[in-house]
Structure 1
Amino acid sequence: MARHIAVASPKGGVGKTMIALQLAGAFAARGERVCLVDHDPQGSCLIFGKVAANANIELPFVPTTATVRGFDTYIHDYPPGLADTFGLCRTVVVPTLLDAASYLVHKRGLRHFQELGLRVIPVAQRVRTDRKEQRDLLKHFEDGVVLRDRALYANCYGKGLTVASARGMPYLGLAQSEIERLAQAVDGGGK
């Protein structure tokens, strides 16, 4: 039976699409057939597909706007907001930035998703431990996954790559480890 994973947040600009793309790449690298469903009107996942096509890169997953049959894993990239339904999704990955405004909205979103009966995986995104505010908020983030602030993620997007498919880039191994920890959390083991 196929699994459906939502990537959602009540706040925009927190890295939902980046996480959706990286998860799609990580699961595809394991040999899973992955469909990346772009629900966001901005269409950033579809744009990524065009970037890859223009670079003659064949993606190991299928970005689309509809759920197409025949895949093992569906990653659903949702627009900002608090939807009341997520279709077949039973797990939701919820990214946040570690600033006060983003984190307060994030906490409200976590409660909402838990009330819907979803398994929630919080993700601290673009973390910089040289900033006191982020260090302080990180203390309250023990059950989540931490992704460091890395230009590598944006650089990969601009080349039509995920960290799973990239080669020879600075800090690639660290980024791959972060995304693998996130994929393991989605699988139900570890953080």
Structure 2
Amino acid sequence: MTPIHLAMIIAVLNQKGGVGKTTLSVNLAAALALAGQRTLLIDADPQGSALDWQAARQTESLFPVVGMAKPTLHKDVPALAADYHQVVIDGPPRVNELAKSAILAAERIVIPVQPSPYDVWAADEIVQLIQEVALYKENLRCAFAITRKIGNTAIGRDVVEALKHYPFPVAAATLGQRVVFAESAARGLAVLEVQPHGPAAREIQALARELLEM
């Protein structure tokens, strides 16, 4: 008998490199796990960055990381998700069948975007793919998340305005351009472990809450 999954499945997707997709995925999973939620991170990126992050870790992980970069992801996830409250999918870096499968598997989609016109323009393809798949998923919810934002800059404000022509909202919680994200990743840790009361940790927690309430 196939297990019934009750997990919330969140996919982090963007085909543009350098937007902090894996950084967001691992830290989001850590925030959920530290909030007492049984959490699973699925690495659906053929580059295996989330698996590399886990391999760099010296202590027991807050959550398991499973590699599953294949276009049958949406068929395989329900059985995997059965024992978890939350599942985070670190999506592939291109718009392809694997990305489509990640969308089909998810109930929430986060599109990380840097405050750059190039990132805004590059969002077209993933937005179109999500819209196509959303025709078959009534309860799919999507949002942009601003990453690597430099505080009190015009470009940080302008990107929110530029994203308004897309059909998805922009999350109120944003992630700043902070060294601790890279420093923690190099050790296979989350920012909540390295600086649990720091600004980066608060930003991740705020975004996690917003996504669950979306």
TM class, shorter-length = 0.7 to 0.9
Specify every segment of 5 or more residues in structure 2 that has no aligned partner in the other structure, as ranges. Answer: 1-5, 69-76, 135-139, 164-168
Q: CA deviation at 1:129?
A: 3.8
The answer to which structure has the higher helix fraction is 2
- Please tell me whether the aligned partners of residues 38 and 78 of structure 1 are also in contact (alpha carbons under 8 angstroms): yes
- Please tell me whether the aligned partners of residues 12 and 79 of structure 1 are also in contact (alpha carbons under 8 angstroms): no
Supply the distance in 2 between the matched residues of 1:27 and 1:81 (Cα, whole angstroms). Answer: 26
The answer to which structure has the higher strand fraction is 1
Supply the distance in 2 between the matched residues of 1:133 and 1:183 (Cα, whole angstroms). Answer: 24
Matched, 1:78 2:91: yes
- The residue type paired with residue 119 of structure 1 is R
Supply the distance in 1 between the matched residues of 2:31 and 2:145 (Cα, whole angstroms). Answer: 16
Deviation string for 1:60-109 (max 9, x for gaps)? Answer: 11011145342221111111123333243111110011111111112443
Supply the distance in 2 between the matched residues of 1:132 and 1:167 (Cα, whole angstroms). Answer: 28
Specify every segment of 5 or more residues in structure 1 that has no aligned partner in the other structure, as ranges. Answer: none
Q: CA deviation at 1:47?
A: 0.7
- The residue type paired with residue 118 of structure 2 is A
Identity %, equivalent residues: 28
Q: CA deviation at 1:135?
A: 3.6
SS of equivalent residue, structure 1 residue 19 = helix
Deviation string for 1:28-72 (max 9, x for gaps)? Answer: 0011111100011111111111111xx2x1111101114534222
Deviation string for 1:116-151 (max 9, x for gaps)? Answer: 323112111111146543442244457323111001
- Aligned partner (choices 36, 40, 49) of residue 44 of structure 1: 49
Greater displacement, 101-110 / 90-99: 101-110
SS of equivalent residue, structure 2 residue 23 = helix
- The residue type paired with residue 62 of structure 2 is P
Aligned to 1:186: 211
Supply the distance in 2 between the matched residues of 1:84 and 1:44 (Cα, whole angstroms). Answer: 20
Going from structure 1 to structure 2, the CA distance change for 1:182 and 1:107 (only over 3 Å counts) comes to farther
Aligned to 1:19: 24
- The residue type paired with residue 79 of structure 1 is P
- The residue type paired with residue 198 of structure 2 is G
RMSD: 2.1
Supply the distance in 2 between the matched residues of 1:173 and 1:115 (Cα, whole angstroms). Answer: 39
Q: CA deviation at 1:164?
A: 2.0
Matched, 1:137 2:159: yes
- Please tell me whether the aligned partners of residues 120 and 162 of structure 2 are also in contact (alpha carbons under 8 angstroms): no
- Please tell me whether the aligned partners of residues 91 and 120 of structure 1 are also in contact (alpha carbons under 8 angstroms): yes
SS of equivalent residue, structure 1 residue 35 = strand
Aligned to 2:137: none
